[in-house]
Amino acid sequence: MIQVKNLTKYFGPVQAIDRINFDVDQGEIVGFLGPNGAGKTTTMRILTSYLPATSGVARVAGYDVMTESMQVRRNIGYLPESVPLYSEMRVEEYLVYRAKLKGLGRKERVPRLEFCLDRCRLREVRRRLLGTLSRGYRQRVGLADAMIHDPPILILDEPTAGLDPIQIRETLALIRELGEKHTVLLSTHILSEVEAICERVIIINAGRVGFSRSLAEIEQEAVILLDVRGPADAVAGAVRSIGGVAQLTPREPADGVAAFEIRTQENRDLREEISKAVSDRGWLICRLDRKHRKLEDAFFQVLREEDPLKEAARTSEAIKK
Amino acid sequence: MATRAIRPKRDEGLLAGNWESLPERAPSIVRAERPLATRIVAFISLVMVAVGGLAMVQAARGKGYLIGPDWGFVWFSLGVGGLLYHAFRDAEVQYRRVYGMVGAVLLLAGVALRVRPQLFLIFGIPSLALGMLFFVAVARNETDAFLRTFMLRLLGILGGIMILAGLIGGNISPSYVQVEGAILLVLGLLFVGAYIGLLGTASEEGYWAGFALGVAGLLGFIAAVLQSLFVDGFLVPSGYILMTACAVYLMVAFGACSEMKLVVLTRRELSALFYSPIAYFVFLGVLIVGWISFGMFLSGLRGRGGIFESFMLVNYFLNYPTVVCVTLVVPLVTMRLLSEEKRSGTLEVLLTAPVNESSIVLSKFSAVLLFYILAFVPWGLFLVGLRIFGGEPFDYRPVLSFFIAMVFTGAGFLSVGLFWSSLVRNQIVAAVLTSACMLAFTAIYLVSGTLSGTWAELFGYVSYLDLWLNSLQGLFTPRHLFFHFSLAFFFLYLTTKVLEARKWT
C-alpha cells in the first residue's frame, strides 16, 4: 500500500531524510520509530503529499504522492503531530465539516459520525468547543477526523501523545482493530506501544532507515551470553571453532572472567555445544545464558550504528575546519 | 506482496490479556451557571422598555412624560436589545417560557395587524421581526424537543407564507411588491433562514427546507423574467425587486444545502468570521458610519427644503468616513484568513484533505466578499427606508452602479489583503501591509488630480475613488471596472501560487 524508494528531502541545506526505502503492505500495522529529528514527521508529510520530496518516489495506495496527490489524499486518513483544530468550532460540527470535505454523502455521514464519536469516546463532548478541550480530547478528535471517511490507509503521527493511561490502551486497541481492515503507519516514542500492536517496525535514524523487520523476527533473534573464568583469547578461539557460531564479541571483562556475546547462524541454540567445549578445556563457566532480543535492544543498536558515509562526511568537515 | 507477518502472542505489555474498555469518566460535568450580569442587564433593559414605551404612548396621547418621544424610542430600542441579549444568554426555564410567550404574542399581533394595512407596515412588521428574534433566542436554548420543533416550524411556516405572499402578490400586482411585498420577501427570508439555520442542513428537514427555498427562488425568478418580457412597465422596479429577491433565495439555498467543497469551505469561513468579535465590530462600525452619513445627508436635505436630487447621493455615500471605513474594513477582515491557518497549523490538516489550493483561496475570498457586501447593505436600506416612509422617489440607477463599483473595487482590495495574509504568519503584519496598499490606492486618487495626459488617463483606471464618484454621478463606465477585476484575479492567482509554492522544488 505504501512504497517508498530513495526518498530524500532537503530543507534548504538541511538534509531531513536521506534516500530512505521501505514498503508497507496491505493490512499491516507498522510502527515508525526514531529519535527526535530523525525525519519521521517529514516522511509522513511527504506521504500525505503535504510536502514534496527533493528526490525519490513514494506511492500511496498505488498513487504517486507528487503527481496524483488528490487520489492519495482521498485514500488516507492523517493525524498530524500537534493536532491543529479550529478552536471556534464544536466537535460534532467539525467532524461533519471534515466529512463533507472528504466527500462523504449526506446519507452515510450520520452513521459514520456516530460510529467515530463512539469509538473515539467523544460522545460526551460532542457539543463542546474545540478550543476548550484538553490535549487528550483534541487527540481523540484528530483520530476521529482521520478515520471519518473510512480510508484504507491511516497515517498517524504520535497518536497516543498526551493521552491518559486508559485512553492510551483504548486508542491502541482501536488501532489494532482498525488494522484488521486498514493499513496503519504510526509513529511513536513509546516502544511498548509498538510491541503491543505493531507487526513490523521501521526504525529511522538521522534520515536513514536503519532497520525494517517484523517484531516476530526481532524476538526470534537471540544472543548467547557467556562468562568464563579463563584466558580470554584461548576461550574465544575455542568457541569460534564450534560449528554454527556466527559472531563473537567480547564484553567488558571483570576480574579474570572473560565475557562474550555470541551470535549463532539461524539463531540456533548452541548452549550445550559451548558448555561442552569450554568445560572440556577445564575452564569454569560463570554464566551461560540465551537472551531473546527485545525491540528496545534493536532500537538502541540502530541508533549506535553510524552510517559510514555520514561519518566520512563529518570527518571531512572537521578537517576543513 | 510479502506474506503477512503472524501477529506474535503477548502475555505482557500494554494490551496484555484482553484489554477491557473502562467506562468514560471525563469530561467535567457541565453545571448550569447563573448569569448574574446578564440578568442585571435584563432588569435595566426592562426599565428602559417601560420608560421608553410610556414616553412614546404619552406623547401620542398629547401628554408629557419624563423624556421626549424621540428619546423614548431610543430607550425602547436599547431596552429591547438588552432583553434579546438576555433571552439569548439565559437558558433557565422560566425565562425561556416568558420570552417564548412574548415572542408568540408579538408574532400573533403582527399577523393580526395584517387586517389594517397601514398599521401593519408601521407596527406589524417590527412586531413580526421582534417575535422572530425572541423565538430564535428561546429555541436556541430550548431543551424540550417538542417546543423547540414547534417554534422552529412556526417560524418556517410563517416565513414560507410571507415568501409566497411576496412572490405571488408581486406577480399579480406590481405595485404590491414595491412596498409591503418587498418587506415580506426580506422578512420571509429571515424567518426561513432562522428556521434552516437552527435546524442545520445536516438534518433531513433542514435540507429539504433549504431545497424548497431554492425551488421557490427559481420559480419566482422565471415568473419575474416572463412578466418583465411580456408586461410593459413591470421590470422597473417590481421586476428588479422580484428578481433580486429570488436570486438571493437561490444563492442562500445553494449556500446552505450544497455539498460542493467550495461551498462547504466558504460556509466555514463565513461562520469563522462571525465567531470572532471582529465581524461584529466591523458591522457596528460600518453601521454607525452609515448612520452618521445618512444623518448628515438628511440634514442637508432639510436645508434644501426637502428636494431630493440624485447628485446629492454623492454626499451620502462619499464622505471621508466612507473612505476610512473601507480602508479599515479590508485589512480587518482579511488579515487572519490564511495567516491564522498557517500559525495554528490547520493549513496542514486542510491541505491533506482532498481539497485543492485554488478552492481554498476562492472560498476564503468569496466569504470575505460576501461579508463585505453584507456590511454595506444597511447603507442601502437607509435609502429604502427613506423611499418607503418618506415617500421620496429617487433615481435608483446611480445607487445600483455605485453598488457594482463597490463590489468590484472591494474584490480587488480583499484579494490584495488575502495575498498578504498568505505570505505571513502574523495577522498584524498582514493587516499593516494591506493597510499600506489601501493607502497607496487612495493616494493615487490624490495624485491623479494633479496630472494630465496619458498618466492621468492611466491613473484614472486605477483610482477607485474616481470610479465611485463617477458611478454616483451617473457616469458609470464598465471599462473602468477592468482594472479592479484584473487586480482581484491576479492576486487570487498569486495567493494560490503562494500556497502551492511549498511543493516547488
DSSP for residue A268: -
What ipTM was predicted for this assembly?
Answer: 0.83
Is the omega angle on the peptide bond into residue B237 within 30 degrees of 0, that is, cis? Answer: yes
Query: Coil, strand, or helix at residue B173?
Result: coil
Strand pairing report for A63-64 and A76-79: unpaired
The CA distances from residue B58 to B63, B113, B380, in Å, are 5, 22, 33
- Nearest residue to A90 (alpha-carbon basis) of A55, A118, A117: A117
Q: Which chain A residue lies closest to B1 (C-alpha atoms)?
A: A25
- CB of B41 within 8 A of CB of B85? yes
Cβ–Cβ < 8 Å for B407, B369: yes
pLDDT in tens, A109-163: 889 999 999 888 888 888 888 988 888 889 889 999 999 999 999 999 998 887 8
Residue contact A195–B14, C-beta within 8 A? yes
A49 contacts B27? CB cut-off 8 A: no
| Segment (H or E) for B315 | helix B313-317
Q: Do B4 and A54 touch (CB under 8 A)?
A: no
**pTM, two decimal places:** 0.83
Question: Smallest Cβ distance to A196: which of B1, B13, B272?
Answer: B13
- Kindly calculate the radius of gyration of chain B based on its CA atoms and give it in whole angstroms: 27
Location of C-alpha cell 493616494: B443
Q: In 10 A of CB A241, how many CB atoms? A: 9
Q: Where are the domains of chain A?
A: 2-218, 222-292
Q: Least CB-CB distance to A50: which of B2, B348, B354?
A: B348
Task: Give residue for cell 493597510.
Answer: B435
Determine the residue of chain B that is closest to A129 in CA distance: B275
Sorted by where each begins, the domain ranges of chain B are 144-258, 276-505
Q: Quote the CA–CA distance of B314 and B472 in Å, as a whole number.
A: 6
Please judge whether B27 and A124 are an interchain contact, meaning their C-beta atoms are less than 8 angstroms apart: yes
Find out whether A27 and A179 touch, Cβ atoms under 8 Å.
yes
* pLDDT (tens place) for every residue of chain B, 505 residues total: 344 444 444 555 677 666 667 666 666 666 666 788 889 999 999 999 999 999 888 888 888 777 888 888 889 999 999 999 999 888 888 999 999 999 999 999 999 998 888 888 888 988 999 999 999 999 988 888 899 999 999 999 999 999 999 999 888 888 888 778 888 999 999 999 999 988 887 788 888 999 999 999 999 999 999 988 888 878 777 888 899 899 999 999 998 888 889 999 999 999 898 888 888 889 888 888 888 888 887 777 777 766 666 666 776 777 777 888 888 899 999 999 999 999 999 999 999 999 989 999 999 999 999 999 988 888 887 877 777 666 666 777 788 888 888 899 999 999 999 999 999 999 999 999 999 999 998 888 888 778 778 888 888 788 888 888 888 887 778 888 888 999 999 999 999 999 988 887 6
Q: Which CATH class is domain A2-218?
A: alpha beta
Domain A222-292: give its CATH code: 3.30.70
Q: Which H or E run contains B348? A: helix B346-351
CA distance B167 to B250: 14
> Which grid cell is A189?
516514542
Q: What is the DSSP string of A48-109?
A: TTSS--SEEEEEETTEETTTSHHHHHHHEEEE-TT----TTSBHHHHHHHHHHHTT--HHHH
